[in-house]
Structure 1
Amino acid sequence: MDPPNPFRYRPVCSEPGCEETAVYKVAAYWSDGSHHELKNYGLACPAHRDSRLDRARKNRDALKLGPGETVGDVRLFVLDPSRRDTEQESVADAPAPTTPPPSGPTPDSP
């Protein structure tokens, strides 16, 4: 028997037209001085993590904060259903290689 899935749905990448399972949350730490949480900018699969991160950073830069509000830098977080938003683990947000992986046999394959 499969272990229970803590998600009630399959998290899907926020990239328009993408149906891949999301493995990242694109977010920034937000606070109003008394409450702290992640401001969610969307979900991303490995293929769209960089484009979702770039878009979120532009949205964050245009954000108008209310009195006492602060928002940190936009980052990638591992989408872990067993953790609350404020407990999600941040991952390195260095851009992925711009060259897509080869679709055919690799030079090492027989």
Structure 2
Amino acid sequence: MPMPPYPVCCYRPDCGRLAVYKIAARWSDGVTHELKTYALSCAECLADWLVRSRDKQAACRLALGETLEPPGVYEILRGQRDQQLTRRPDLEGIADAP
């Protein structure tokens, strides 16, 4: 039985807006691969979550054979799995803006 749709909110506790972006990094152990989620974000909170996600990724220690790419921004669309999400490199510089 399929789950009913539910709202996916921004991770910032006091935000309350719907998440439209997933900040995630491609991870692999050499056999399997997946997106490691750092945050789900609304457009307004994206820059802050991207900075925090990059800091978390930089502190991550990997086991032998593991790879972890830098966090990227993916557009969330209802019903799509991670492999189907569209990466938005045009938004990944938002955290670098003055």
For the aligned pair, the TM-score class normalised by the smaller chain equals 0.7 to 0.9
Q: Which has the larger radius of gyration?
A: 1
How much does 1:42 deviate? 1.2
What is the RMSD of the two structures over their aligned residues, measured on CA atoms?
2.0
Structure 2 equivalent of residue 94 of structure 1: 93
Distance in 2 separating the partners of 1:7 and 1:79: 17
Other structure's SS at 1:56 match: helix
How much does 1:81 deviate? 2.4
Q: Is the 8 A contact 1:7 1:81 kept in 2?
A: no
Structure 2 equivalent of residue 59 of structure 1: 56
Q: Which amino acid aligns with 1:28?
A: A
1:32-80 deviation digits (Å, cap 9, x = unpaired): 1111110000100010000000000000000011121111111110012
**Runs of 5+ unmatched residues, structure 2:** none
Hey, which of these two has a bigger chunk of helix by percent?
2
**Runs of 5+ unmatched residues, structure 1:** 1-5, 99-110
Task: Give TM-score, length-normalised by structure 2.
Answer: 0.85
Q: Aligned runs of 1:13-32 on 2, under 5 Å?
A: 13-32=10-29
Runs of at least 4 residues off by over 3 Å: none
Q: Identity of counterpart residues, as a percentage?
A: 35
How much does 1:89 deviate? 0.7
Task: Give TM-score, length-normalised by structure 1.
Answer: 0.76
Aligned residue pairs total: 93
